[in-house]
Amino acid sequence: MDKPTLPKGTRDFGPATMAKRQFILDNIRKVFQKYGFMPLETPAMENLTTLTGKYGEEGDQLLFKILNSGDYLKNADATKLETRNSKQLTFDISEKGLRYDLTVPFARYVVMNRNEVAFPFKRCQIQPVWRADRPQKGRYREFYQCDADVVGTDSLICEAEIILMIREVFKGLGITDYTIKINHRGILNGIAEAIGAAGNETPMFVAIDKLDKIGEEKVKEELREKNFSENALTKLFQLLNVKGSNTNKLAVLFKEFETIASGQKGLRDLRLVFDFLRDYGSDESNVELDVALARGLSYYTGCIFEVKINNVSIGSVSGGGRYDNLTKAFGDKENLSGVGFSFGVDRIYDAMEELNLFPKDAQVSSKVLICYFDDESFRYGLGVLSKLRQAGIASEIYPDLSKIKKQLDFANKKMIPFTIVIGSEEVSTGALAFKNMTNGEQQKLTIDQIIKQF
């Protein structure tokens, strides 16, 4: 029989990886809840009617679809079968799909529970999502998202708190060198108007979104092909290249947008977010107004965010923004304004590995392994083990009578930092050989003395 394999693009998380992932997730969860976000979990499977049409045509194709149970071909359309029309047949033989993100299930939840939910509703959700994307380095078919959203208010306090939360999560993780880029849909619209490209926003946004990757000249080339004038391009890069502090950028842009309402609204919103930060006793550190930040524009309507950890080979690790039409896709008439953001756990994990930031004690192994020479000391060891656990110390006993060397090797392999070795002498005196597996030091101590060491 062939050795079993994993489906393409999926991963097992063994103990060592789990400990580090848990460290990241616990940190995020703690901060979310400290800021009043309440946890939600939705099913892995959603009706395809819930999922399709929400992620564009490409997204629909990346949905994992679940085959109906039982005799699924019974009522399938004959023509579709005969012509082998995979695309059309799908809806005859499949009515469920796997969650593609956490936003659509959240919107579905809000619509279904409108009367029970207390608005403004702050929810956090930490669950895996699935996409039938072509797997490649850093891109998986199953990965976790960690979302926090507030719906039912357009207060900019939510934007300020997103900045505070990102900072607090990174502080907890030991990540110090990072940039929270912020921009506003209104500013982008204002720029389009200022350079005489109103009505032509989309190609402009698509091009400048690539500025980081392809550079100024290529962006200009692309826009020339879209019939942007040289004057417009000069003006565009004059605006995109405004340097200095956020305050300075705001001041320059306020002048440029003197007669442009949408641009002014964007600037006022950002200024208020920065003011709020000061009211919190904080400041703008790590926050950079980046007028070239565009991010999937069709979706967002106000502030947008993107977070990069500096000096690592990894793209953005978090992003989000304000949207106004979350529940409309489900026939909701009321306009629920919301703002949210998402942490990418896999990318944070990779960045922390690259920066060597995981604490040494991000381990989940036992702290102590009890080793023994014979059945009598084994039995005695069980009482010792009980006392350790009663003191809350994660510990275990080697389950089979084996050579001491084998038992100690096992402790090393499992990265258990301490061992207690028990023989007949230890049983009679109660002075136990307590060994530090890291530096090899050994002491004779009673169990009570050992417990005090922790």
Are the beta carbons of 28 and 127 closer than 8 angstroms? no
Per-residue tokens: 240:
């995109």
Per-residue tokens: 353:
């590995």
Residue 232, Cβ neighbours under 10 Å: how many?
A: 19
Q: Please, what is the minimum distance in Å from the beta carbon of residue 11 to a copy of itself?
A: 7
Per-residue tokens: 113:
């529970």
Among 20, 24, 27, 130, binds a copy of itself (CB under 8 A): 130
Among 57, 86, 259, 313, binds a copy of itself (CB under 8 A): 86
Q: Please, what is the minimum distance in Å from the beta carbon of residue 314 to a copy of itself?
A: 22
Q: Please, what is the minimum distance in Å from the beta carbon of residue 4 to a copy of itself?
A: 5
Residues 6+ away with beta carbon under 8 Å from 45? 66, 96, 97, 98, 99
- Distances in whole angstroms, Cα of residue 122 to Cα of each of 46, 281, 289, 330, 429: 22, 23, 26, 20, 59
Among 39, 138, 174, 244, binds a copy of itself (CB under 8 A): 39
Distance CA 404, CA 377 (A): 12
Q: According to CB under 8 A, which residues from 201 to 230 bind a copy of itself? A: none
The residue range among 188-196, 229-237, 379-387, 433-441 that interacts with a copy of itself, by the rule CB under 8 A, is 379-387
Q: Which is nearer to a copy of itself, 141 or 184 (CB)?
A: 141
Half-sphere exposure of 384 (CA within 13 A, CB side): 32
The residue range among 122-130, 200-208, 296-304, 431-439 that interacts with a copy of itself, by the rule CB under 8 A, is 122-130
Task: State the DSSP code for 200.
Answer: -
Asked if 120 interacts with a copy of itself (CB under 8 A), we say yes
Among 13, 53, 335, 453, binds a copy of itself (CB under 8 A): 13
Q: What is the DSSP string of 306-342?
A: EEEETTSS--EEEEEEEES-TTGGGT--S---EEEEE
Among 382, 425, 428, 438, binds a copy of itself (CB under 8 A): 382
Among 23, 28, 52, 64, binds a copy of itself (CB under 8 A): 64
Burial environment of residue 242 by CB neighbours within 10 A (0 to 12, 13 to 18, 19 or more) = middle
Asked if 240 interacts with a copy of itself (CB under 8 A), we say no
Among 158, 317, 371, 450, binds a copy of itself (CB under 8 A): 158
Q: According to CB under 8 A, which residues from 311 to 350 bind a copy of itself? A: 330-331
Residues 6+ away with beta carbon under 8 Å from 284? 245, 246, 274, 277
Considering CB under 8 A, how many residues would be counted as binding a copy of itself?
105
Segment (H or E) for 108? helix 103-112
Among 137, 360, 405, 413, binds a copy of itself (CB under 8 A): 413
Q: Which is nearer to a copy of itself, 116 or 258 (CB)?
A: 116
Q: Which of 159, 180, 172, 185 is nearest to 284 (CA)?
A: 180
Distance CA 242, CA 238 (A): 7
Among 180, 187, 267, 397, binds a copy of itself (CB under 8 A): 397
Among 56, 67, 138, 238, binds a copy of itself (CB under 8 A): 67
Asked if 142 interacts with a copy of itself (CB under 8 A), we say yes
Q: According to CB under 8 A, which residues from 428 to 447 bind a copy of itself? A: none
The residue range among 226-234, 310-318, 384-392, 429-437 that interacts with a copy of itself, by the rule CB under 8 A, is 384-392
Are the beta carbons of 286 and 322 closer than 8 angstroms? no
Distance CA 313, CA 286 (A): 19
Q: Which is nearer to a copy of itself, 246 or 365 (CB)?
A: 365
Among 103, 183, 262, 366, binds a copy of itself (CB under 8 A): 366
420 backbone dihedrals φ, ψ, rounded to 5°: -120, 120
Distance CA 341, CA 343 (A): 7
Q: Which is nearer to a copy of itself, 113 or 202 (CB)?
A: 113
Distance CA 107, CA 104 (A): 5
Are the beta carbons of 207 and 218 closer than 8 angstroms? no
Asked if 122 interacts with a copy of itself (CB under 8 A), we say yes
Among 66, 211, 251, 437, binds a copy of itself (CB under 8 A): 66
Asked if 147 interacts with a copy of itself (CB under 8 A), we say no
Asked if 279 interacts with a copy of itself (CB under 8 A), we say yes
Asked if 255 interacts with a copy of itself (CB under 8 A), we say no
Residue 88, Cβ neighbours under 10 Å: how many?
A: 14
Q: According to CB under 8 A, which residues from 44 to 63 bind a copy of itself? A: 44-47, 49-50, 61-62
Are the beta carbons of 89 and 77 closer than 8 angstroms? yes
